Amino acid sequence: MIRAFSKLNITFACVFNQEKMITSLKMFYTSVGRKLIMALTGLFLCVFLLEHLYGNLQLYKIDGGKAFNEYTEFMTGNMFIRAVEFILFAGILVHALDGLMLTLANRKARPVRYAVSRQSQNSTWFSRNMGLTGSILFVFFVIHLREFFFAHRFGGATESMAASVANAFTTAWYASLYIVAMIILGFHLNHGFQSAFQTLGLSNHKYIKTWKCAGTVFALIMMIGFASVPVMLYFDFMGMSSNILGK
């Protein structure tokens, strides 16, 4: 009898756990769940941006691109980093698709657009159009990958990564595209950073100003840090591009 009850309890526990798991999975299909995914993937991508900016700033050493090339060789040669690349690309795709679904859901919930909207009085254009700016950044990301990642990983590029960067950023159209993309990134991060902490429940009335300030500072660092590189290379400030290209 005791064994029968024990088996019955185990069966009920398994059924309960399965129902709990199904309920948890269903949550990610709700608006709240999607916002949670957006927040977590967004913060993960912020960590990647910090690491990527660190790599780009190696060009400021004006050593013919040696430090930058060593950094890129380490990143491509380290098996752990290669494994993290798959997580990174998955994070970018999930973030982009989740943002698209949230944008479509919000538009579906408000099919009628009023001539005068109170939203415009309480929010910025960028905060209301995160889906648009995110889509632009995703297209730029694909172009950026094609220019550097795919060219060196699969395209058989013969020049160093530093030389590829210098050649790309001494081209007016690409340098301009990159700078515009980084400005859009800055505004996207400014709203997204603070929104992520708000979604995670870490931004109450006491700390909301702190997170807003932190988001603005982070966005400015990313925007200025990334955009400064094409400016330095295009105008050859400190001899950055000529030092790499040997001109």
- CATH number, position 189: 1.20.1300.10
On whether residue 23 sits in a domain, the answer given is: no
Q: What tokens appear for 184 in the block?
A: 């859009």
Residue 218 maps to a domain? yes
Prediction pTM value? 0.83
Above 60 in pLDDT, residue 175?
Answer: yes
Indicate the number of domains in the chain: 1
Q: For residue 67, what pLDDT is reported?
A: 97
Structural domain for 217, as ranges = 31-108+130-245
In a domain, 120, yes or no: no
Q: Decide if 124 is inside a domain.
A: no
| Minimum mean pLDDT range among 43-47, 95-99, 121-125, 216-220 | 121-125
Which tens digit of pLDDT belongs to each residue from 77-104? Answer: 888 888 888 899 999 999 999 888 888 8
Query: What pLDDT does residue 238 have?
Result: 94
For 9-26, what is each residue's pLDDT tens digit? 555 445 445 555 444 445
Q: Is residue 180 part of a domain?
A: yes
In a domain, 17, yes or no: no
